[in-house]
Amino acid sequence: DADQPASKKAKLEDDDGDDALEDWELEELDRVRDREERDAFAARLKRRDDAKTRKLTVRGEKGGDPLLEEAAAEKVSAEERQLVFEESRIVSRQAYLEKRENKKIDELVESIEDEKRLFEGVKLSAKEKRDFAVKQRVLDLVKQRNDTIDRTPNYVMPESYDDTTRPEARSRRYKVLD
């Protein structure tokens, strides 16, 4: 019997059997044992989850699968390249359209000036007069649009109609509801 381990309760008692550990000491030992069991369980759970999770390593880390690293890098770089390409395409298109618009306006102005010079004093047919009037109208509309764009700021601060001390602010406030 001396070789076999004693039961937990027996360990907690003295050889006399008279002095048992205090209740609070028993509770503390239970808490410590519970904490150790909880930590061991959490570690087992984490190991199991880690084993099931497919890991992609970051470039430069050791221990990762080089094929996975390369595939992840290619995917990121391909996505980045695609985004950069799309952005540069949009910027390039906007620059092209602006240059083309200016070029077409210049061509229209030159065409109108040429027709004025060439046909000054010459009797024009109804179709030629209509074509010239259309060109003039288009040029006027383009100039009007450009003037409007130049005069209009990109953002206009809204007027405050919350000032209840001024009567015109109150009327503007209620006008929104109509």
For 83-135, the pLDDT digits (tens) are 888 998 999 999 999 999 999 999 999 999 999 999 888 898 999 999 999 99
- 106 vs 89, 98, 110, 142, CA distance in Å? 26, 12, 6, 11
What is the rounded CA–CA span in Å between residue 61 and residue 96?
45
For 25-73, the pLDDT digits (tens) are 888 999 999 999 999 999 998 888 887 776 655 555 555 566 666 777 7
